[in-house]
């Protein structure tokens, strides 16, 4: 175990706080208002086009902090490793985590590792927790309290890339594709908005359950509705094609590098222009509005001018028979 | 997306819609008998765009919905047997049997595997000779050829551990049964993919005997609107005929290669349809030279069809006698998260389609 920690983890995770190898990392933060999050990651397969479970684990924690309007600072990582996992695979994952954290400007300051017997876990489970600092004026961003009729709904790019890339990596579909997961840390895209003082009424990363599930969650039992326009929603051709083939609705497919933002009408244009300057936001689009009508409901205008209701997904999307 | 976007063109759709509004003077009830059509109609919000003269009814075209609860019960029992795996298309796993679902049985340790093609099940059987693999054959003439190819491959490989549990059905008997059951249908929106295999000859008796117009439709909004317009014109001119709108996929003679494989591997049998009961010669079972791959011959799968759960109106919905929201359980007790009847389980089921997409 000691060798594993030395040769794999400390080789790539080399923050001074971690290298101390004490039981706790002790950090100094200038602000007293902190955001704190944790998430566990299991994905099958561990490697997919555009990322791996390690990249997911770092991006997931970072993006959860970003969605709360916080600037991510520190991460803790815990690994549960199934006996027999190839060391080379583990090392690639650890290295990706170190690189992703570095790209995002967050520090991995503590961690833990357990090895369990064969069959007691599926290759590798990772749990990451993250701490970020936030300002008082941003504390309601994650709650939905600030959402107003007239606000614009913005998404920072194409939907469904991650879910479909993982599905393609499972190799059960019988064809190859050049789809890439969108997995990315979003703090570098969002921070300029906060720094510019642009008001953000709501943010959430539409991961499992996709965009539709987030929209349904935020309108549930509220006195406003949401109307989106299908023709404005960015979705890549390969994702659209695969969805047609398998009977999936891309609105419900998982994303790992997307942020749904709700912003006031008055600053929507400026927000979009700023988002479009960053790599993760270059395909950003305003896709709909918060409405007074249809309270508690999410409606979508279809490409032919009809309207339909968007409801919460129950269970997983399953491929259609025919 | 090439070949799809053109069929979702708003301007073209508006032109056809305008024609429908102009042409439709007498009230007409159009039944779609394909779950894919039900889903597409609601997904694009088409009912909200039609004139009040046109009433759309959903018929028994979702393969999951017409499959009896007894079939699920048997499948669960098979999956719980030692060294026996049940392979299925995904949509079947949440369908309630009389007490459980394949999904719950799987969570309880039964060997249930979701596959995208029956050939995956054949592969598993070839690589694991000490286990038995049962593929749940479900669907109409669209999925039956894939099952037929799996059976033929199993025979070529001389597999002893691959079986088909067939609930495959054929469509025309059900379409006639609907009319016999007294449902007032003026016109059928005929299934696109079924017809791509079968051709259109099988619809001629519906026109001849019952005077019901038939148009084979594609699945995009422009397809559906154009098909509705064709049916409206037939109705207005009292001229019911069989027509193909979906000409880019369907030929009058169908796919003769697939038909010949079906005829080689399967033979017709009486089949139980939820909502319609037993319809003679409406099912497909492995023919005599493939009988040793028939799960019904190998395993004990006897027993009567269990009754429907109390209050469930799937039977009436499937016959088009009522609309999903007329069922007392709809959206209150019966939801996609907790489906009582099969029509709420399948993404193509009329009830789930109404639940997910209807505006009110």
Q: Cα(B208)–Cα(B198) distance, rounded to whole angstroms? A: 18
Question: For B75-115, how does the pLDDT look when each residue is reduced to its tens digit (9 = 90+)?
Answer: 999 999 999 999 999 888 888 888 899 999 999 999 999 99
Instruction: State the smallest CA–CA distance between residue A113 and chain B in angstroms.
Output: 29
Which residue has better confidence, A170 or B245?
B245
CATH of the domain at A211: 3.90.650.10
Last residue of a domain, one of A138, A166, A186: A138
Of A173, A237, A318, the CB nearest to B1: A237
Q: What pLDDT does B336 receive?
A: 82
Q: What pLDDT does A314 receive?
A: 65
CB atoms A309 and B1 under 8 Å: no
Residue carrying the six token digits 């249809």: A294
Last residue of a domain, one of A138, A163, A194: A138
Instruction: State the smallest CA–CA distance between residue B197 and chain A in angstroms.
Output: 13
With respect to residue A134, please indicate whether it lies within any of the assigned structural domains: yes
CB atoms B43 and A309 under 8 Å: no
Both A161 and A132 in one domain: the answer is no
Q: What pLDDT does B6 receive?
A: 87
Q: What pLDDT does B162 receive?
A: 98
Q: Cα(A211)–Cα(B215) distance, rounded to whole angstroms? A: 36
CB atoms within 10 A of CB B185: 22
Both A156 and A134 in one domain: the answer is no
CATH of the domain at A55: 3.30.1330.10
CB atoms A320 and B347 under 8 Å: yes
Compute the mean pLDDT over every residue in chain A, rounded to the nearest whole number. Answer: 92
Whether residue B179 is predicted with pLDDT greater than 60 in this model: the reply is: yes
B10-23 vs B221-236: helix crossing angle, rounded to 10: 20
Whether residue A315 is predicted with pLDDT greater than 80 in this model: the reply is: no
Mean pLDDT of B163-189: 90
Both A178 and A245 in one domain: the answer is yes
Cβ proximity of A135 and A69 under 8 Å = yes
Both A224 and A299 in one domain: the answer is yes
Whether residue A208 is predicted with pLDDT greater than 80 in this model: the reply is: yes
With respect to residue A315, please indicate whether it lies within any of the assigned structural domains: no
Cα of first residue to Cα of last residue in chain A, in angstroms, is 50
Whether residue A232 is predicted with pLDDT greater than 70 in this model: the reply is: yes
Whether residue A317 is predicted with pLDDT greater than 90 in this model: the reply is: no
Both A43 and A182 in one domain: the answer is no
With respect to residue A89, please indicate whether it lies within any of the assigned structural domains: yes
Compute the mean pLDDT over every residue in chain B, rounded to the nearest whole number. Answer: 91
- Res. B141 pLDDT band, cuts 50 70 90: very high
Instruction: State the smallest CA–CA distance between residue A107 and chain B in angstroms.
Output: 39
Question: For B266-315, how does the pLDDT look when each residue is reduced to its tens digit (9 = 90+)?
Answer: 999 999 888 788 889 999 999 999 999 999 999 998 888 888 788 888 88
Whether residue B3 is predicted with pLDDT greater than 80 in this model: the reply is: no
Q: Cα(A77)–Cα(A40) distance, rounded to whole angstroms? A: 10
Both A100 and A175 in one domain: the answer is no
Q: What is the pTM of this model?
A: 0.82
Cα of first residue to Cα of last residue in chain B, in angstroms, is 31
With respect to residue A317, please indicate whether it lies within any of the assigned structural domains: no
Both A131 and A168 in one domain: the answer is no
Question: For A67-100, how does the pLDDT look when each residue is reduced to its tens digit (9 = 90+)?
Answer: 999 999 999 999 999 999 999 999 999 999 999 9
Full residue range of the structural domain in which residue A180 is found = 152-310
Q: What pLDDT does B269 receive?
A: 95
Task: Delineate the domains of chain B, giving CATH numbers in brackets.
Answer: 64-170+254-298 (3.40.50.11740)
Both A226 and A278 in one domain: the answer is yes
Mean pLDDT of A241-255: 88
With respect to residue A238, please indicate whether it lies within any of the assigned structural domains: yes
Last residue of a domain, one of A105, A138, A171: A138
CA A86 from chain center: how many Å? 27
- Res. A7 pLDDT band, cuts 50 70 90: confident
Q: What is the 3-state secondary structure (H, E, C) of chain B?
A: CCCCHHHHCHHHHHHHHHHHHHHCCCCEEEEECCHHHHHHHHHCCCHHHCCCCEEEEECCCCHHHHCCHHHHHHHHHHHHCCCEEEEECHHHHHCCCCCCCHHHHHHCCCCEEECCCHHHHHHHHHHCCCCEEEEEECCCCCCHHHHHHHHHHHHHCCCCCEEEEECCECCHHHHHHHHHCCCCCCEEEECHHHHHHHCCHHHHHHHHHHCCEEEECCCCHHHHHHHHHHHHHHHHCCCCCEEECCCCCCCCCCCHHHHHHHHHHEEEEEEEECCCEEEEEEEEEECHHHHHHEHHHHCCCCCCCCCCCCCCCHHHHHHCCCCHHHCCCECCCECCCCCCCHHHHCCCCHHHHHHHHCCC
How many folded domains does chain A comprise? 2
pLDDT over 90 for what percent of chain B?
65
Whether residue B2 is predicted with pLDDT greater than 70 in this model: the reply is: no
B335 chain-A contacts, CB cut-off 8 A = 314
CB atoms B359 and A303 under 8 Å: no
Q: What pLDDT does A321 receive?
A: 57
Mean pLDDT of B7-29: 96
Count of pairs with CB atoms under 8 A, one residue in A, one in B: 96
B43: contact with A, CB 8 A cutoff: yes
A314 chain-B contacts, CB cut-off 8 A = 335-337
With respect to residue A145, please indicate whether it lies within any of the assigned structural domains: no
Both A105 and A184 in one domain: the answer is no
- Res. A155 pLDDT band, cuts 50 70 90: very high
Residue of A nearest to B222 (CA): A304
B163: contact with A, CB 8 A cutoff: no
With respect to residue A83, please indicate whether it lies within any of the assigned structural domains: yes
Of A173, A241, A315, the CB nearest to B1: A241
Both A163 and A306 in one domain: the answer is yes
Both A168 and A302 in one domain: the answer is yes
Both A16 and A112 in one domain: the answer is yes
A315 chain-B contacts, CB cut-off 8 A = 94, 336-337
With respect to residue A16, please indicate whether it lies within any of the assigned structural domains: yes
- Res. A31 pLDDT band, cuts 50 70 90: low
CB within 8 Å of A266: residues ≥ 6 apart:
none
């Amino acid at each position: 175990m000691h060798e594993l920690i030395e040769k794999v983890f400390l080789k790539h995770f080399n923050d001074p706080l971690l290298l101390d190898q004490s039981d706790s990392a002790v950090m100094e933060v200038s602000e007293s208002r902190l955001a704190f999050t944790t998430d566990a990651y299991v994905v099958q397969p561990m490697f997919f086009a555009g990322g791996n479970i390690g990249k997911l684990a770092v991006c997931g924690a970072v993006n959860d902090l970003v969605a709360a309007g916080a600037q991510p600072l520190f991460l803790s990582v815990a690994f549960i490793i199934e006996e027999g996992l190839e060391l080379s695979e583990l090392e690639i994952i650890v290295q990706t985590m170190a690189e992703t954290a570095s790209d995002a400007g967050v520090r991995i300051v503590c961690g833990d590792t357990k090895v369990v017997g064969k069959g007691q876990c599926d290759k590798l489970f990772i749990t990451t927790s993250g701490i970020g600092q936030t300002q008082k004026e941003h504390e309601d961003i994650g709650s939905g309290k600030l959402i107003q009729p007239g606000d614009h709904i913005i998404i920072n790019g194409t939907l469904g890339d991650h879910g479909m890339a993982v599905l393609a990596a499972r190799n059960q579909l019988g064809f190859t594709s050049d789809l890439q997961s969108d997995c990315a840390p979003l703090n570098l895209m969002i921070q300029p908005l906060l720094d510019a003082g642009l008001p953000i009424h709501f943010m959430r990363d539409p991961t499992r359950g996709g965009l539709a599930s987030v929209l349904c969650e935020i309108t549930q039992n509220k006195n406003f509705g949401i109307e989106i326009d299908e023709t404005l929603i960015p979705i890549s051709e390969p994702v659209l094609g695969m969805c047609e083939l398998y009977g999936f609705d891309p609105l419900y497919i998982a994303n790992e590098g997307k942020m749904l933002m709700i912003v006031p009408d008055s600053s929507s244009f400026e927000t979009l222009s700023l988002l479009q300057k960053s790599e993760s936001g270059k395909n950003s689009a305003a896709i709909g509005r918060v409405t007074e009508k249809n309270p508690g409901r999410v409606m979508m205008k279809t490409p032919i001018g009809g309207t339909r209701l968007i409801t919460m997904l129950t269970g997983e999307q399953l491929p259609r028979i025919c | 997306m090439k070949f799809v976007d053109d069929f979702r063109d708003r301007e073209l759709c508006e032109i056809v819609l305008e024609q429908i509004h102009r042409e439709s003077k007498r009230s007409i009830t159009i039944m779609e008998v394909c779950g894919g059509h039900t889903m597409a109609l609601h997904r694009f919000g088409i009912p909200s765009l039609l004139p009040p003269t046109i009433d759309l009814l959903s018929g028994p075209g979702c393969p999951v919905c017409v499959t009896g609860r007894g079939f699920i019960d048997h499948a669960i029992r098979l999956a719980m047997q030692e060294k026996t795996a049940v392979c299925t298309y995904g949509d079947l796993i949440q369908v309630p049997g009389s007490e459980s679902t394949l999904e719950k049985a799987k969570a309880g340790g039964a060997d249930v595997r979701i596959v995208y093609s029956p050939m995956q099940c054949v592969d598993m059987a070839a690589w694991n000779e000490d286990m038995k693999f049962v593929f749940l054959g479900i669907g109409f003439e669209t999925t039956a050829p894939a099952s037929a190819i799996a059976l033929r491959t199993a025979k070529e490989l001389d597999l002893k551990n691959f079986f088909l549990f067939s609930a495959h059905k054929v469509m025309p008997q059900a379409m006639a049964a609907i009319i016999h059951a007294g449902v007032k249908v003026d016109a059928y929106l005929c299934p696109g993919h079924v017809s791509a295999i079968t051709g259109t000859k099988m619809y001629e008796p519906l026109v001849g005997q019952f005077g019901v117009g038939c148009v084979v439709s594609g699945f995009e909004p422009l397809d559906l609107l154009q098909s509705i317009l064709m049916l409206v014109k037939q109705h207005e001119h009292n001229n019911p005929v069989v027509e193909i709108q979906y000409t880019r996929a369907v030929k009058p003679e169908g796919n003769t290669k697939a038909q010949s494989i079906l005829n080689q591997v399967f033979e017709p049998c009486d089949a139980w349809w939820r909502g319609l009961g037993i319809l003679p010669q409406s099912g497909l079972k492995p023919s005599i030279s493939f009988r040793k791959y028939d799960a019904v011959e190998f395993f004990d799968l006897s027993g009567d069809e269990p009754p429907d759960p109390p209050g469930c109106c799937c039977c009436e919905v499937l016959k088009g006698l009522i609309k999903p929201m007329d069922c007392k359980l709809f959206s209150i007790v019966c939801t996609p998260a907790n489906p009582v009847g099969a029509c709420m389980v399948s993404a193509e089921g009329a009830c789930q389609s109404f639940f997910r997409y209807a505006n009110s």
